[in-house]
Structure 1
Amino acid sequence: MFRLIMPVFLIVLSIGYLILTFNMDQAKVGNPNAPMYFPAMIGFFLLIISIIYLVQEWKKRGEIIEEVKELVSGRTPVLIGVTVVLIFIYTFLFERIGFLYSTTLFLGALLFLVNGRKHWLQNIIVAVVFSFLSWYSFAELLNVSLP
C-alpha cells in the first residue's frame, strides 16, 4: 500500500490545481478564459499521468519495494534531512541577504554536502558561477527584479 501514496497525492494535487485554475479571474481584454487555457492543460496532463501512475502501482502493490529499503539505509536519510534543513535556512536568508548571496551559500553548502571537502575548489566555483549567472540572466538580461 506504500506504493499508492504518491500517485494518490498527485491525483489530489492535480484536482486541487484544476479547481484553483477554474477559479482564476477572467481576462478583462480579449478572450475572458484565455488565462485558464495553459494552466488547465497542465492540470489535466498531471491528472492523466497520475491516474496512469496509480494503475501501474496498483498492479505492483504486492511486490516488495527494494527502492524504499535502499532509501532508508546508508547515507541517504542524512542527505535528505540536511538538505531539508538547508532549504529552510535558504528561505530564511533569501529576503534578508538577497538572491545572489543566499543562493551562493545554499548551493555551496549543498555541494559540500554531496561532494565533500575533497572537491572544495570545484564546489566553490560552481556555487559562485551558477549563482552569478542566474542572477545576471534574470536581473540584467530579463529585467526581473530579484531581492
Structure 2
Amino acid sequence: MLRLITPLFFIFAGVIYVVFTFNLPQAKIGDPNGPLYFPAVIGIFLLLMSIVYLFQEWKKRGEKMEKVRQLFTGRTPFLIIASLVLIFIYTFLFERIGFLYSTIIFLTGLLFVVNGRKQWIKNILIAVIFSFITWYSFAELLNVSLP
C-alpha cells in the first residue's frame, strides 16, 4: 500500500494542475485559448504518466521495498539532509547576495558534501567555473536579468 502513495499524490496534483489550467484567463489578442495549450499538455501528460506509474506500482505491491530501505542506510541520510540544508541556505542567500555568489557558495558546499575535502581544488573550480558560465550565459548572452 505504501507504494501507491506517490503515484496517487501525482494523480491528485495532475488533476489540480489541469483544473487550474482550464481556469486560466483567455488571451485578449490572438487565439483566446493560446495561454491554455502548453500548460494543458503538461498537465495531461503529468496525469497520464502518473496513471501509468500507479499501474506499475500496483503490479509490484507485493514485493518488498528494498530501495526505500536503502535510503536510510549508510551515508544516504546525511547526503539528503545536507542537500536540503544547502538548498535552504541557497534560497536564503539568493536575493541577498545575488545569483553568482550564492550559486558559488551552494555548489561548493554541495560538492564538498558529495566529493569530500580531499578534492577541494576540483570542488571549488567546478563551482566557480559553472556559476560564472551560467551567469555569463544568462546575463550577458541572453540578456536575462539575474538578481
Aligned equivalents of 2:56, 2:94: Cα separation in 1: 40
Q: After TM superposition, where is structure 1 displaced by more than 4 Å over at least 4 residues in a row?
A: none
Tell me the C-alpha RMSD between the 2 structures: 0.8
1:53-64 alignment, distance < 5 Å: 53-64=53-64
> TM-score, normalized by length of structure 2?
0.97
Q: Distance in 2 between matches of 1:29 and 1:93?
A: 39
SS of equivalent residue, structure 2 residue 17: helix
Q: Deviations over 1:18-53 (max 9, x none)?
A: 122112121110001011101100110110010010
1:87 aligned to 2:87? yes
Output the amino acid matched with 1:96: R
Equivalent position of 2:32 in the other structure: 32
Normalised TM-score (structure 1): 0.97
Gaps of 5+ in 1: none
Shift of 1:9: 1.1
Aligned residue pairs, count = 147
Q: CA deviation at 1:6?
A: 1.1
- Larger mean CA deviation between 75-84 and 10-19 belongs to 10-19
* Equivalent residue letter for 2:77: P
Matches of 2:144 and 2:19, distance apart in 1: 29
Percent sequence identity over matched residues?
67
Distance (whole Å) between structure 2 residues aligned to residue 85 and residue 29 of structure 1: 45
Distance in 2 between residues matched to 1:141 and 1:35, nearest whole Å: 27
